[in-house]
Amino acid sequence: MNDTTVFGDSPYSIVFRNPELLSAFALLVLCEIVWRKFVRHEEYGAAEAAASVGIAIGRSIAKPIMIFALAGLYLLIYEYRLFTFDMTKWWSWVLVFLGADFLYYWMHRFKHEIRWMWADHSVHHSGNRMNVFMNFRLGWTGLIVGTWLMHLPLVLLGFAPSAVITTYALSLVWQAWIHTDMIGKLWSPFELVLNTPSHHRVHHARNPVYLDKNYAGLLIIWDRMFGSFQEELEEEPCDYGLVQQLLSVNPVKIAFNEWGNLIHDVRAATSWKQRFIAAFGYPGDKKAVLEEQARLKVLREKAKADGAHTSDASSSPRRSAAAAGE
């Protein structure tokens, strides 16, 4: 893998460049189709899968621009590195892997919490079925929203751009197979440390309890450390898609849906502060869901406290009567 081809990359493009990975991907798709038809007794969603392919084609047009713009920048930043890590040492690879996965977690979290970035990343969450074709749904405007900033700190620190890109590619390949609801929970030590299909189903679900959880790339430990982890619950089946579900199978509409919403809200704002919040604040549709979830939680806790108080009050006369009888 050379120093430039992974800029602007995605799981599907890495898989398609490697025959072994492509064969495994095709087998996974076939297994999903058979599993949905004969186990779940439901359609695979051919129109939605075709829309995902269309989105991938659109992204492939934007990719050369990203390569041209970013490859030179990463190499330039490396010229001003603070240190030089020897990539012939095993521990250098451990450090760059941990650093890249850590930065991926935070950039992914920012994509969910900053609307400007969510406008691009929401494309990936627009699918209403969880299958491997979800890998194809990646935004076309990554160069604008700044996701390319993610790994620059590692390059500036002194890790070779090729090493940074290789570890990023490893994370992307890992994520290629976890976009599925066919595979259940794995061995518990794996579930504890790694981002698994179960954890990633939670990430793609729009249920309030699952919203904005499990941002991990390869290691789920970051979510556990920073309070964004959520286990998949048997009593809460995952409901996939955006908070305001998008039913369109038009790739262009899907790619620019949230940008249209953002522009509408900015134009509707009556002050510069409101415009800034509309563009760079927390996405409004998700905020409303989380606020409602918090309100219902307060009500449940209040009802529970009132019930406990009532129970204590009703049992008090019985205790007094028993004491008198003694």
Report residue 128 as tokens.
């209403």
The pLDDT value given to residue 3: 46
Reported pTM: 0.85
Domain assignments of the chain as residue spans, ordered by start: 11-255, 286-326
Q: Reduced to 3 states, what is the DSSP secondary structure of residue 205? A: strand
Tens digits of residue pLDDT in 111-168: 999 999 999 999 999 999 999 999 899 999 988 998 888 889 999 999 999 899 889 8
The pLDDT value given to residue 1: 42
The pLDDT value given to residue 61: 84
Tens digits of residue pLDDT in 288-317: 777 776 776 777 778 777 776 666 666 555
CB 220 within 8 A of CB 199: yes
Nearest to 242, CA basis, from 99, 112, 117, 126? 126
Separation of alpha carbons 210 and 230, rounded Å: 7
Count other C-beta atoms under 10 Å from residue 123's C-beta: 28
Q: Which residues of the chain have pLDDT under 50?
A: 1-8, 324
Amino acid letter for position 170? L
The pLDDT value given to residue 303: 79
The pLDDT value given to residue 314: 60
CB 124 within 8 A of CB 139: yes
Q: Reduced to 3 states, what is the DSSP secondary structure of residue 182? A: coil
The pLDDT value given to residue 11: 53
The pLDDT value given to residue 308: 67
Q: Reduced to 3 states, what is the DSSP secondary structure of residue 85? A: coil
The pLDDT value given to residue 221: 98
